[in-house]
A and B are shown apart, each in its own frame.
Chain A
Amino acid sequence: MNIFSCILKKPDNVKVFTPDPQFESAGRMLHAEIDRVFKRSIAIREVDCGSDNAAEIELANLSAPHYDVERFGISFVASPRHADILAVTGVVTHGMKEALIKTYEATPDPKFVIAVGDDACTGGIYNGTYAVVGPVDAVLPVDLKIPGKPPTPDAIIEGLLTLMRSAKKR
């Protein structure tokens, strides 16, 4: 067996899954919108400000094989300086407020902020307690809220589609 057959051989232990038609069609629509608004692709920087890590898992899941949103022109980037969109999760704690503002300031204009999950959208069960500043819009201007505990990958994609459609009108 030469090296090429090694590379080209389809591994026998892969179970192929069928893509979810609803997710695929939302993804393709989103791809078209991104093409129109941003020319090809958008870059998202995630900031956790008080989440219980479930929303992070779902955002990271978008890059996993079942969803693989890079196909639709969405990538998650390591630095806010490369980002078009800040995806903020969790209620904003006193500990994270400063870091969130600095991350926002480091993101070049034009930029969008989306709040991902119930706590980020409304403050949820933490509203009015000592440890939190409030929902994300208490600190930054928020362009879109995606509710959920946490929102599913489908809901996040639907949310981004709404954001792109409203961005086009601006």
Chain B
Amino acid sequence: MTGIHAHYSALSLPAEWLIREDATTISYAVPDDQMPDIAEILLALESRLVWIFCTEAADQDLFILWYVFELQEMRKYLVLVVTTNKPVSLAKIYPAASRFERAISDGFGLHFTGSADNRRLFLHEAYPEDFHPLKKDWKNAPISPLENPVPYEFRSMEGTSIYQVPVGPVHAGIIEPGHFRFSVIGEEILNLEIRLGYLHRGIEKLAEGCSPEHVVRIAESVSGDESVANACCYAMAVEQICSLSLPPRALYLRGLLLELERSWSLLSDLAGMVTDVAFSAAASRFLILREVLQRACTQLTGSRFLKGIIIIGGISQDIPDGLLYEVKDTVMQVRTELEKLLSWTLSVPSVIDRFSTTGVVREPFIDPLALSGPVARASGRALDVRSDHPYGLYDIIPVSPVIKMTGDVLGRFALKGDEILASLAYINELIPLIPNGSVHIEYEIVDGYALTAIESPRGRTLCYVRILGGIIDRFSLSTASFCNWLALEHAVQGNIVPDFPVINKSMNLSYAGTDL
């Protein structure tokens, strides 16, 4: 707790600015003209700007910007709340701010003074110029797309023998759509610009006006291989608003589902990485293990993707103890197989040759780009929401983050392997401890707002929910992928184009989870 006091005295935010303190955040209202100075001070305190989102103020012309900071050793997030209609860009202080600001400009039509990049982010060319879907006075309805829009402007690279390689949105593999624009000299990548937004489904607007129960299913549809994490993060926010405490059995079962999802989801990454270095013998075996876990998911919940199980106030159906112990056995068999498989893969010279020193994410990039999850932990930073901001079961049974120092594909491979082993061991440990009792509680929806965080398989997921009149007034979600895409842009520089697939797979970020 000393950390908190040290930070506050250095920050010296006036006590009258404090607007609220809850289980996950401490919020201050900051005058808009002082925000850049405070951001500078926060930077000196080694803080990380992890999210900016926007809501509309009661006064039609004003907007509320929520700057979410993470400080070392501070369990709660520091939220600075700025009410303004002329915001100043923080991109020069915190580079991660740039894309958050572009997303807000798209959604609300706000212009950030001093912003170096004013291009639209998730709204593509087909959307009319003055179209801002998240404004309250605009009702969700089909639009008529522009016929002959102005094409998106990519950063251009000039010089002798530089050429560009456009890839996507439709890729060669069975993966999601996104556009990669490589600027290349010979075979070496000079610059990569990633353009996403192809999967923008208007999820935030879609949730507005829905019942809180229905939005669990919407949160679940954000990204298929993180459905439990996203649904849980949203449900936790509603539970915080309604001051619900979950029955212990529900808490344990949610912990089980979160770790099971992490395990099967990360197994896909391992399989993808070895596939991309043509070691298909190992890929097949990783996929066998993933299928075994996905079948265990079906056994437990009836869904291979664990969909439909998370509800507000717990989980939708109890899982009998007999089944839990069956899954415990399966999980331990998978763990034994995986250990052998990992040591075999990491003893093959051709794999090491392709993985080692490829696609390095350097440690100094982690804070400015707000990187999180395996991408940050493989570069030597023990950042993990489960241990930094414990929630749910992790408050009772703590986890300690695994880290690797090298930051290359090999580091991320070894890290993800170790994380699956740790997750499976965690499941094995928690199943005998699951208490008896009900798995959900009765509740009444009350108005209010909350911000919650969760560690998904890909890293930090943040969710903001505001309930007004018993229905969702604002739902916003920021998945780990949103920031981690920037790590990919940096990691590929200086590598050769043929190594791009394996670098991309080593992060395996979610396109759908970014575009919403």
Interface residues in chain A, defined as those with a beta carbon under 8 Å from any beta carbon in chain B? 13-15, 17, 46-61, 64-66, 76, 78-80, 90-91, 93-99, 103, 125-126, 128-133, 149-150, 152
Contact = CB atoms under 8 A, between A and B. Distances in A.
The 9 nearest A-B residue pairs measured at CB = A54-B224, A131-B202, A78-B172, A64-B287, A95-B198, A94-B126, A52-B224, A13-B340, A53-B224
A150 B224 contact: yes
B133 interface: yes
B341 A13 contact: yes
Interface in B173-202: 173-177, 197-202
B511 interface: yes
B305 interface: yes
B168 to A, nearest CB: 9
A106 to B, nearest CB: 9
A125 B218 contact: yes
Nearest to B143: A130
A149 B218 CA distance: 13
B224 A64 contact: no
Interface in B281-323: 284-285, 287-288, 290-292, 304-305, 307
B379 interface: no
A56 B176 contact: yes
Nearest to B177: A48
Which has the most chain B C-beta neighbours within 10 Å: A57, A65, A128? A57
B142 interface: yes
Interface string B202-221: 10011000000000011001
A60 B508 CA distance: 15
Given A17-B288, A53-B223, A53-B512, A99 B141 contact: no
Contacts of B512: 51-53
Interface residues of B, number: 53
A36 to B, nearest CB: 26
A55 to B, nearest CB: 7
B142 A129 contact: yes
A99 B169 contact: yes
B170 interface: yes
Nearest to A14: B285
Given A95-B197, A99-B177, 14 more contacts: A13-B340, A13-B344, A49-B177, A52-B512, A53-B225, A57-B224, A57-B225, A61-B287, A64-B284, A65-B291, A66-B287, A95-B169, A129-B141, A129-B201
A8 B344 CA distance: 17
Interface of B: 124, 126-127, 133, 140-143, 145, 169-170, 172-177, 197-202, 205-206, 217-218, 221-225, 227, 268, 284-285, 287-288, 290-292, 304-305, 307, 333, 337, 340-341, 344, 510-512, 515
Given A52-B223, A53-B225, A149-B307, A129 B205 contact: yes
Which has the most chain A C-beta neighbours within 10 Å: B198, B291, B340? B198
Contacts of B198: 93, 95-96, 99
Contacts of A96: 169, 177, 198-199
A13 B347 CA distance: 15
B242 to A, nearest CB: 24
Contact of B206 (A52, A76, A129): A129
Contacts of B218: 125
